[in-house]
Amino acid sequence: MIIGIDIASWFEPGSSIGRSLGHLVRALAAVGPEHEYLLLAPDTMRPGRRRTFNREALEGVPASTRFQVAVGAVPGPLCRVGNGRWLSLWRTRCLDRRGVDAAFFFHPTLTTFVPSAADFATVVAVHDLIPIRFPAFTKPQALERAQRLLRVQAGSADLLLAVSETTKQAIIDELGVPAERVHVLYQGIAEGFRPRPEIDRGAVCERLQLPREFILFVGRLDPWKNVNALLGAFRLLCSREDFRYDLVLAGPRDWGYPALETAVSEWNLGDRIHFQGYVPDEDLPLLYNLARCFVFPSWYEGFGLPVLEAMASGCPVVTSTAPALREAAGGAAQEADPADEEALARAISKTLSEPELREEMTQHGLKRATEFTWERTARQLLDELSALVGSRRPG
């Protein structure tokens, strides 16, 4: 097959979805030597956040005829208006010229319009339905566009690949897509996420400016991440004289950050809560290894890959009871109602204070994490694309 892949999100600074796309493309390079790929790299971004393509960024992808890269620069007058429409036309033209059999769009909110009535099959990955299920969690200025894009893509793609069974069911329920057009494609865990007993805790904590003993959260500080409940639970734990842990929040300081920073200041916890900001890929596994437990109390997730990254690193995990997080954890995590700060505090305390439970959670988590590899994801994606392309051929 000749497969087109939109890689725009790969170059989005601090994007976990972009990081996942990079792992997937590298895995495809390793498992599908008989296939050819056209990578679409739109060289554009809104003013102030311009994204520039650099071939060296495609580390691990062979520089061969099997992997061709098309770079589309948006003309100056279109950088503010008409960006998505121009890029949609550019994509379609590139895919048609190359004669691709299938086009795979990993991040719909960046790829805007999926070509419809095309000569090639179109496949879209759906990571969550937050704009439709929880509109209050989407920035007001982006809500209408995000909802429209989900519906347009759901209506025009030949196949939707949900990142979890939870998301698959949401697509069927909310968008009215027939079940036969929605399959599940789990993401994988990068090989760097593994236990590292050789780590020098003191040296790494000093280099990364981390406290010696801490609880960890990883992710953007978006409203649906429910970090305010984590802060509330941490405040309850800090009221105990014997509680000696700090809290590290690792991730981009998104639109929810100012309110969280204000709460931390009002509660006089500024010396025990650390806003780490964006953490480079090479350092993130170290944080999971150093943390005494990982807490992910989201109201909603499409899946919850950080839960599995923590487990793969040997870190005990506490999550909310959100369906997708339960699906990801597979029974290997402590759970708490996302609306109950006291329950969350109890789950954290139990995880930290019971050695036998910690060991059981760690071993169960390590076993659970082995079920998710990028090689497995890549092989399944190729199977899905092959079956779809085959079904479109006459006879």
pLDDT higher than 80, residue 238: yes
Distance between CA 395 and CA 392 in Å, rounded?
9
| Domain ranges (residues) in the chain | 2-188+373-392, 201-369
115 — pLDDT class (breaks 50, 70, 90): low
Parallel, antiparallel, or unpaired for β 334-336 and 317-320?
parallel
255 — pLDDT class (breaks 50, 70, 90): low
Cβ within 8 Å of residue 144, ≥6 positions away? none
Helix (H) or strand (E) holding 153: helix 140-156
pLDDT for the residue 336: 98
Mean pLDDT, rounded, for 194-223: 93
Distance between CA 66 and CA 5 in Å, rounded?
13
Give, as one character, the DSSP assignment of residue 373.
B
pLDDT higher than 70, residue 79: no
pLDDT higher than 80, residue 110: no
Helix runs in 56-125, H state only: 83-98, 108-111
Give every strand in the sheet of 293-296, ordered side by side. Answer: 273-277, 246-250, 214-218, 293-296, 317-320, 334-336
Parallel, antiparallel, or unpaired for β 67-72 and 334-336?
unpaired
Question: Is there a contact between 42 and 8 (Cβ–Cβ < 8 Å)?
Answer: yes
Written out in words, the top-level CATH class of the domain with range 201-369 is alpha beta
Fold of 2-188+373-392: Rossmann fold (3.40.50)
| pLDDT, mean over the chain | 87
